[in-house]
Chain A
Amino acid sequence: MQRVPPLAVMLSALVAGSLFGFGLALSTMVRPEAILQFLLLKNFGLLLVMGGAAGVTFIAYHLLPRLMKRPVFGVVFGKHPSHLDARTLIGAAIFGVGWGLSGVCPGPAIAGLGVGNWPLLLSIIGILLGAWLHGRFFGKH
């Protein structure tokens, strides 16, 4: 197995995250108001954000493993681990309740800090607490 240069992976994550964060800011997803406007069915822009992002990702996830044996600084192309079970479906339902109450998802909570949306710090703390509650009391390994 070839050795993966850790610094290159860190820099890749930083640059990729920056593109992601730029997109979240451009698409106004860092504004809980924009997400709530969608959830209240007054502005359907969020569907374009998700569709655009998933569309580009779909092409990359399907094409790259066919064009290359391995990633530039990696060993294997990964796969998103989703399972069709009660946890996935119940967890998704609970996630939606929290998302509908706050208008904040985990990504925009972080990216929002970059546009000076400081109240989202409370969302970050909340999500951290929620992640802890899950791991501590419902974690399965």
Chain B
Amino acid sequence: MTSLAQWFPTGWEPFLFGGIFIGLGVSLLFWLTGLIGGISTAYTAVWSLITRHPFFQHEKFVSTRNWRLMYGLGLILGAVVFTYTLGHGEGFVTKVPLWQLFVGGIIGGFGARMGGGCTSGHGICGVGSGQLPSILAVIIFLSTAIVTAHVVRSLGGF
């Protein structure tokens, strides 16, 4: 048991059960609509409402933005439900510096769109459909993220 506590010092249950809920959400979307529930495309799709630039007016963004926005709204709703049920009404506010959240967002958003997916698109939907490019993408982004986190921490960042 010592080794299990070493790997999962805060317990393994919330992680595994949380992951299963995530998978059930993606599966429910697939069962009901046949849609693939990655998240990062939603961010590009939002721009189809704002800019006339032809890239953002592509059919794959314009025709999917409505359900993607509802999916995103659901993400918030589900987290609210958690907060007031299992979460005992306690929220959480991160202490990661705002500049790291912002700059990390720009870099991560850019990369996710260029790479055609993020932790949900490649990590869950892509791996879940057994696609080799997605499996490679996951190995690559886990590696660069682990290196980056260590470098940032050693330079005095959060």
Interface residues of A (CB under 8 A from B): 4, 6, 8-33, 36, 39-46, 48-62, 64, 68, 70-85, 87-107, 109-120, 122-136, 138-139, 141
Task: Say how far A88's CB is from chain B's closest CB, in angstroms.
Answer: 5
- Asked if B33 contacts A9 (CB within 8 A), the reply is yes
- Asked if A36 contacts B105 (CB within 8 A), the reply is no
Interface residues of B (CB under 8 A from A): 7-10, 12, 14-40, 42-44, 46-47, 51, 53-56, 58, 66-68, 70-83, 86-87, 91-96, 98, 100-134, 136-138, 140-150, 152-153, 157-158
Chain A residues with CB under 8 A of B22: 19-20, 23-24, 27, 49, 52-53, 56
If A57-B125, A117-B92 are given as contacts, then 14 extra A-B residue pairs at C-beta distance below 8 Å, sorted by A number, are A49-B16, A56-B24, A71-B34, A72-B31, A89-B136, A92-B137, A98-B104, A99-B148, A106-B42, A116-B92, A122-B105, A127-B109, A131-B44, A131-B110
CA distance A107 to B110 in the complex (A): 15
- Asked if A76 contacts B75 (CB within 8 A), the reply is no
* Closest 10 pairs between A and B when the two form their complex, measured CB to CB: A17-B74, A126-B105, A91-B115, A27-B18, A102-B104, A130-B109, A114-B79, A52-B19, A98-B108, A56-B23
- Asked if A22 contacts B81 (CB within 8 A), the reply is yes
Chain A residues with CB under 8 A of B28: 12, 15-16, 19
